[in-house]
A and B are shown apart, each in its own frame.
Chain A
Protein backbone atom coordinates (compact mmCIF):
# COMPACT_ATOMS: atom_id res chain seq x y z
CA UNK A 1 0.00 0.00 0.00
CA UNK A 2 1.31 3.44 -0.93
CA UNK A 3 0.82 6.20 1.54
CA UNK A 4 1.99 8.36 4.38
CA UNK A 5 2.24 6.99 7.90
CA UNK A 6 2.58 8.91 11.11
CA UNK A 7 3.25 7.50 14.51
CA UNK A 8 2.13 7.46 17.17
CA UNK A 9 -1.51 8.45 16.71
CA UNK A 10 -1.69 9.87 20.24
CA UNK A 11 1.24 11.12 22.31
CA UNK A 12 1.30 12.39 25.86
CA UNK A 13 4.30 14.16 27.37
CA UNK A 14 5.19 16.18 30.39
CA UNK A 15 6.18 19.79 30.01
CA UNK A 16 9.92 20.23 29.53
CA UNK A 17 10.42 17.02 27.56
CA UNK A 18 11.41 16.86 23.92
CA UNK A 19 9.35 14.55 21.74
CA UNK A 20 9.87 13.26 18.20
CA UNK A 21 7.00 12.59 15.79
CA UNK A 22 7.54 10.13 12.97
CA UNK A 23 6.52 10.62 9.32
CA UNK A 24 7.25 8.09 6.58
CA UNK A 25 6.08 7.98 2.96
CA UNK A 26 6.47 5.36 0.24
CA UNK A 27 5.02 7.45 -2.56
CA UNK A 28 8.44 8.48 -3.90
CA UNK A 29 7.49 12.11 -3.28
CA UNK A 30 10.39 14.54 -3.13
CA UNK A 31 8.81 17.17 -0.88
CA UNK A 32 7.58 16.69 2.68
CA UNK A 33 5.88 19.10 5.07
CA UNK A 34 4.91 19.46 8.71
CA UNK A 35 1.82 21.39 9.75
CA UNK A 36 0.21 22.15 13.05
CA UNK A 37 -3.56 22.48 13.55
CA UNK A 38 -5.19 23.99 16.62
CA UNK A 39 -8.91 23.57 17.37
CA UNK A 40 -11.15 25.48 14.97
CA UNK A 41 -8.21 26.72 12.93
CA UNK A 42 -6.58 26.00 9.62
CA UNK A 43 -3.16 24.46 9.12
CA UNK A 44 0.05 26.35 9.78
CA UNK A 45 3.34 25.34 8.18
CA UNK A 46 6.16 24.44 10.56
CA UNK A 47 8.92 23.13 8.26
CA UNK A 48 9.21 21.74 4.76
CA UNK A 49 11.84 19.91 2.75
CA UNK A 50 12.15 19.62 -1.01
CA UNK A 51 15.23 17.39 -1.15
CA UNK A 52 17.23 15.15 1.16
CA UNK A 53 19.49 16.96 3.62
CA UNK A 54 17.76 20.30 3.01
CA UNK A 55 14.79 21.92 4.75
CA UNK A 56 13.30 25.38 5.26
CA UNK A 57 11.42 27.05 8.08
CA UNK A 58 7.75 27.68 7.67
CA UNK A 59 5.63 30.27 9.45
CA UNK A 60 5.91 28.84 12.97
CA UNK A 61 9.29 27.02 13.19
CA UNK A 62 10.29 28.31 16.63
CA UNK A 63 10.57 25.46 19.15
CA UNK A 64 10.67 22.75 16.46
CA UNK A 65 13.44 20.93 14.61
CA UNK A 66 13.49 18.49 11.69
CA UNK A 67 15.86 16.30 9.71
CA UNK A 68 15.70 14.79 6.22
CA UNK A 69 18.33 12.08 6.03
CA UNK A 70 16.24 9.86 3.75
CA UNK A 71 13.75 10.70 1.04
CA UNK A 72 11.09 8.62 2.76
CA UNK A 73 11.40 10.07 6.25
CA UNK A 74 10.89 13.52 7.78
CA UNK A 75 10.75 13.37 11.61
CA UNK A 76 9.70 16.39 13.65
CA UNK A 77 11.05 17.11 17.13
CA UNK A 78 8.96 19.28 19.41
CA UNK A 79 11.39 20.79 21.88
CA UNK A 80 10.81 22.16 25.35
CA UNK A 81 11.23 25.64 23.86
CA UNK A 82 7.85 25.37 22.09
CA UNK A 83 5.50 27.33 24.36
CA UNK A 84 2.19 25.73 23.36
CA UNK A 85 2.98 22.28 21.94
CA UNK A 86 -0.43 20.67 22.46
CA UNK A 87 -1.92 20.38 18.94
CA UNK A 88 -2.75 18.07 16.04
CA UNK A 89 0.40 17.55 13.93
CA UNK A 90 0.04 16.68 10.27
CA UNK A 91 2.69 15.49 7.86
CA UNK A 92 2.22 15.83 4.10
CA UNK A 93 4.15 15.00 0.96
CA UNK A 94 4.02 16.01 -2.69
CA UNK A 95 5.69 15.61 -6.05
CA UNK A 96 5.76 18.23 -8.80
CA UNK A 97 4.47 16.65 -12.01
CA UNK A 98 4.61 19.20 -14.85
CA UNK A 99 3.48 21.99 -12.56
CA UNK A 100 0.85 19.94 -10.73
CA UNK A 101 1.96 19.74 -7.11
CA UNK A 102 -0.70 18.25 -4.84
CA UNK A 103 -0.06 17.66 -1.15
CA UNK A 104 -1.37 14.52 0.52
CA UNK A 105 -1.62 14.12 4.26
CA UNK A 106 -0.86 11.38 6.73
CA UNK A 107 -3.35 10.49 9.49
CA UNK A 108 -1.79 12.88 12.01
CA UNK A 109 -0.42 12.73 15.55
CA UNK A 110 -2.34 14.30 18.40
CA UNK A 111 0.15 15.60 20.96
CA UNK A 112 -0.87 16.55 24.49
CA UNK A 113 1.65 18.15 26.81
CA UNK A 114 0.74 18.64 30.47
Chain B
Protein backbone atom coordinates (compact mmCIF):
# COMPACT_ATOMS: atom_id res chain seq x y z
CA UNK B 1 0.00 0.00 0.00
CA UNK B 2 1.39 3.38 -1.02
CA UNK B 3 1.91 5.75 1.89
CA UNK B 4 0.69 8.87 0.09
CA UNK B 5 -1.75 8.36 -2.75
CA UNK B 6 -3.03 10.75 -5.37
CA UNK B 7 -5.08 10.21 -8.50
CA UNK B 8 -2.55 10.56 -11.29
CA UNK B 9 -5.08 12.09 -13.64
CA UNK B 10 -4.92 13.70 -16.00
CA UNK B 11 -7.65 15.96 -14.66
CA UNK B 12 -9.14 18.45 -17.08
CA UNK B 13 -11.41 21.34 -16.10
CA UNK B 14 -12.70 24.29 -18.11
CA UNK B 15 -11.41 27.78 -17.37
CA UNK B 16 -13.31 29.36 -14.48
CA UNK B 17 -14.33 26.03 -12.93
CA UNK B 18 -13.28 24.58 -9.59
CA UNK B 19 -10.51 21.99 -9.72
CA UNK B 20 -10.50 19.45 -6.89
CA UNK B 21 -7.35 17.48 -6.12
CA UNK B 22 -7.32 14.70 -3.56
CA UNK B 23 -4.71 12.94 -1.44
CA UNK B 24 -4.88 10.14 1.12
CA UNK B 25 -2.14 9.07 3.50
CA UNK B 26 -1.43 6.04 5.62
CA UNK B 27 0.00 7.32 8.91
CA UNK B 28 -2.48 8.55 11.53
CA UNK B 29 0.20 10.47 13.45
CA UNK B 30 1.05 12.74 10.51
CA UNK B 31 0.95 16.38 11.53
CA UNK B 32 1.98 18.42 8.49
CA UNK B 33 0.54 18.46 5.00
CA UNK B 34 1.69 20.36 1.95
CA UNK B 35 0.65 21.01 -1.63
CA UNK B 36 3.28 21.79 -4.24
CA UNK B 37 2.76 22.91 -7.83
CA UNK B 38 5.25 21.73 -10.44
CA UNK B 39 5.28 23.07 -13.97
CA UNK B 40 6.74 20.82 -16.65
CA UNK B 41 10.54 20.79 -16.43
CA UNK B 42 10.63 22.94 -13.30
CA UNK B 43 11.09 22.32 -9.58
CA UNK B 44 8.15 22.10 -7.13
CA UNK B 45 6.79 25.32 -5.66
CA UNK B 46 5.07 25.31 -2.27
CA UNK B 47 1.55 26.70 -2.56
CA UNK B 48 -0.21 25.57 0.62
CA UNK B 49 0.56 24.06 4.00
CA UNK B 50 -2.02 22.88 6.51
CA UNK B 51 -1.62 21.50 10.00
CA UNK B 52 -5.10 21.50 11.58
CA UNK B 53 -8.39 19.88 10.65
CA UNK B 54 -10.65 22.05 8.54
CA UNK B 55 -10.15 24.47 5.71
CA UNK B 56 -7.34 26.92 5.00
CA UNK B 57 -7.82 29.50 2.28
CA UNK B 58 -5.20 31.49 0.39
CA UNK B 59 -6.50 33.45 -2.55
CA UNK B 60 -8.02 31.04 -5.07
CA UNK B 61 -6.62 28.02 -3.21
CA UNK B 62 -8.29 26.14 -0.35
CA UNK B 63 -6.71 23.21 1.44
CA UNK B 64 -8.98 20.87 3.36
CA UNK B 65 -7.74 18.44 5.99
CA UNK B 66 -9.60 15.57 7.66
CA UNK B 67 -7.24 13.65 9.91
CA UNK B 68 -9.88 11.12 10.98
CA UNK B 69 -10.33 10.09 7.35
CA UNK B 70 -6.61 10.61 6.56
CA UNK B 71 -7.52 12.82 3.67
CA UNK B 72 -6.26 16.17 2.42
CA UNK B 73 -7.52 18.02 -0.63
CA UNK B 74 -6.78 21.14 -2.63
CA UNK B 75 -9.48 23.21 -4.31
CA UNK B 76 -8.59 25.74 -6.97
CA UNK B 77 -11.39 28.21 -7.63
CA UNK B 78 -11.76 30.15 -10.89
CA UNK B 79 -9.18 27.89 -12.54
CA UNK B 80 -6.92 29.56 -15.09
CA UNK B 81 -4.86 28.01 -17.91
CA UNK B 82 -1.77 29.09 -15.92
CA UNK B 83 -2.85 26.62 -13.20
CA UNK B 84 -2.11 23.77 -15.61
CA UNK B 85 0.64 21.81 -13.84
CA UNK B 86 1.27 18.72 -11.75
CA UNK B 87 0.20 19.07 -8.13
CA UNK B 88 2.14 17.11 -5.54
CA UNK B 89 0.81 16.22 -2.11
CA UNK B 90 3.43 15.83 0.63
CA UNK B 91 2.98 14.51 4.16
CA UNK B 92 5.30 14.03 7.08
CA UNK B 93 4.62 10.38 7.91
CA UNK B 94 5.53 10.22 11.56
CA UNK B 95 9.00 11.72 11.22
CA UNK B 96 9.18 15.36 12.15
CA UNK B 97 11.17 16.68 9.22
CA UNK B 98 10.93 14.12 6.43
CA UNK B 99 8.26 14.43 3.79
CA UNK B 100 6.76 11.64 1.70
CA UNK B 101 5.39 12.73 -1.65
CA UNK B 102 2.56 11.38 -3.71
CA UNK B 103 3.15 10.75 -7.39
CA UNK B 104 1.22 13.89 -8.35
CA UNK B 105 -1.96 14.79 -10.22
CA UNK B 106 -1.63 16.41 -13.62
CA UNK B 107 -4.15 19.23 -14.04
CA UNK B 108 -5.06 20.82 -17.36
CA UNK B 109 -7.26 23.92 -17.43
CA UNK B 110 -8.88 24.29 -20.82
CA UNK B 111 -9.39 27.84 -22.21
Same complex origin of A and B: yes
How many residues of chain A have a CB within 8 Å of chain B? 24
Residue B43 at the A interface, CB < 8 A? yes
Q: How far is the CA of A42 from the CA of B34 in the complex (A)?
A: 13
Residue A20 at the B interface, CB < 8 A? no
* Chain A positions 82-113 with a Cβ under 8 Å from a chain B Cβ: 90, 94, 96, 99-108
For the complex, would chain B's binding face be called helix, strand, loop or mixed by DSSP majority?
loop
Find out whether the CB atom of B46 lies under 8 angstroms from the CB atom of A103.
Answer: yes
Report which of A45, A102, A104, A107 forms a contact with B42, defined as CB distance below 8 A. Answer: A107
Q: List B contacts of A48 (CB < 8 A).
A: 97-98
Which residues of B pack against A, CB within 8 Å? 4, 8, 31-32, 34, 36, 42-46, 49, 51, 88, 90, 92, 96-104
Which residues of A pack against B, CB within 8 Å? 31, 35, 40-45, 48, 50, 58, 90, 94, 96, 99-108
